[in-house]
Amino acid sequence: MNTLTSLLLAGALAASLGGPAHAQRSDPENPDANATWQQLRTTMFQARTIDTAADTIISLEAPERAQDAAIVPISIRTHVEQRPERFIERVYLMIDNNPSPVGAIFHFTPASGRADIETRVRVDAYTHVRAIAEMNTGELYMTTRFVKASGGCSAPPGKDMTAAMASLGKMRFRVEGEVEPGKPALAQLMISHPNNSGLVMDQLTRMYTPAHFVRRIQVSYAGQPVLSADVDFSISENPNFRFYFVPTGEGELKAEVIDTNALRFETAVEVDAGS
Amino acid sequence: MRSAASRLRCSLAAFALAWAGLCSASPDIEPLPVEEIAPGVHVHVGHQATWPGAQGDERAGDIANLGFVVGERCVAVIDTGGSPQLGQRLLAAVRRVSTRPVCYVINTHVHPDHTLGNAAFAALAPAPRFVGHARLKASLAARAPFYREALARDLGLATDDADIVYPDLEVADTLTLELGGRSLHLRAWPTAHTDNDLSVLDDASATLFAGDLLFVAHLPVIDGRLLGWLEVMDALARLDAARVVPGHGAPVADWSPALEAQRRYLSGVRDGIRSAIAAGRTITEAVEALANTGVDGWLLTEDFHRRNLTAAYAELEWED
Residues 204-263 of A with CB under 8 A from B: 204, 209, 236, 238, 240, 242
pLDDT in tens, A46-77: 999 999 999 999 999 999 988 889 999 999 99
- Mind listing the pLDDT tens digit of every residue in chain B (320 residues)? 444 444 444 444 444 443 333 333 336 899 999 999 999 999 999 999 999 999 999 999 999 999 999 999 999 999 999 999 999 999 999 999 999 999 999 999 999 999 999 999 999 999 999 999 999 998 998 899 889 989 998 999 999 999 999 999 999 999 999 999 999 999 999 999 999 999 999 999 999 999 999 999 999 999 999 999 999 999 999 999 999 999 999 999 999 999 999 999 999 999 999 999 999 999 999 999 999 999 999 999 999 999 999 999 999 999 98
The span from the CA of B114 to the CA of B112, in Å, is 5
For residue A48, give how far its alpha carbon lies from the nearest alpha carbon of chain B (Å).
34
User: Using CA atoms, how far apart are residues B271 and B160, in angstroms rounded to an integer?
Assistant: 43
Highest mean pLDDT (candidates A14-18, A123-127, B175-179): B175-179
Interface touch B50/A151, C-beta < 8 Å: yes
Question: Cβ-count burial of B273 within 10 angstroms (0-12 exposed, 13-18 middle, 19+ buried)?
Answer: buried
* Partner-chain contact A125 B149, CB within 8 Å: yes
Confidence at residue A159, expressed as pLDDT on a 0 to 100 scale: 84
What's the confidence (pLDDT) of residue A205?
65
Lowest mean pLDDT among A203-212, A229-238, B171-180, B307-316: A203-212
Interatomic CA distance for residues B268 and B187, integer angstroms: 27
All structural domains of chain A, each given as residue ranges with its CATH number in brackets, are 3-272 (2.60.40.10)
End-to-end CA distance of chain B: 53
pLDDT at A78 over 90: yes
What average pLDDT does range A118-127 have in this prediction? 92
- Mean pLDDT, rounded, for A200-206: 62
CA distances from B258 to B187, B213, B263 (A): 21, 11, 9
Q: What percent of chain A has pLDDT over 90?
A: 67
Q: Cα–Cα distances in Å, from A274 out to A180, A225, A254, B92?
A: 7, 21, 19, 75
pLDDT for position B1:
40
Q: Using CB atoms and an 8 Å cut-off, which of residues 3-42 of chain B contact chain A?
A: none
CA neighbor of B213 nearest in space, from B81, B111, B317: B111
pLDDT at residue A164 in the model: 85
**How high is the pLDDT of residue A224?**
96
Average pLDDT of A93-110? 95
Beta bridge partners of A93: A104, A131
> Are residues A110 and A84 in contact, defined by beta-carbon separation less than 8 angstroms?
yes
Residues paired with residue A90 on neighbouring β-strands, in sequence order: A107, A134
Residue A83's pLDDT band, with cuts at 50, 70 and 90, is: very high
Residue A6 has pLDDT above 70, yes or no: no
Look at A71 and B280 and tell me if their CB atoms are within 8 Å: no
As a dihedral over the C-alpha atoms of residue B124, residue B126, residue B127, residue B132, rounded to 10 degrees, the angle is -130
* Lowest-confidence segment of A148-157, A255-264, B79-88, B277-286 by average pLDDT: A148-157
> What is the pLDDT at residue A173?
97
Residue A13 has pLDDT above 60, yes or no: no
Q: Map out the domains of chain B with their CATH numbers.
A: 1-26 (no CATH), 31-254 (3.60.15.10)
Closest residue in A to B134 (Cα) is A162
Q: What is the pLDDT of residue A197?
A: 81
Q: B207, B244 in Cβ contact below 8 A?
A: yes
| B281 touching A (Cβ < 8 Å) | no
Burial of residue A96 (CB within 10 Å: 0-12, 13-18, 19+) is buried
Buried (b) or exposed (e) across B60-98, using 16+ Cβ within 10 A?
bbbbbbbbbbbbeebbbbbbbbbbbbbbbbbbbbbbeee
pLDDT at A153: 56
Radius of gyration of chain A (CA): 18
Helices (H), chain A: 3-15, 35-45, 161-166
As for the ipTM of the complex, it is 0.88
Contact B199, B213 (CB under 8 A): yes
At residue B27, the pLDDT reads 60
**Chain-wide mean pLDDT for chain A?**
88
Residues 69-128 of A with CB under 8 A from B: 69, 71, 73, 75, 118, 120, 124-125
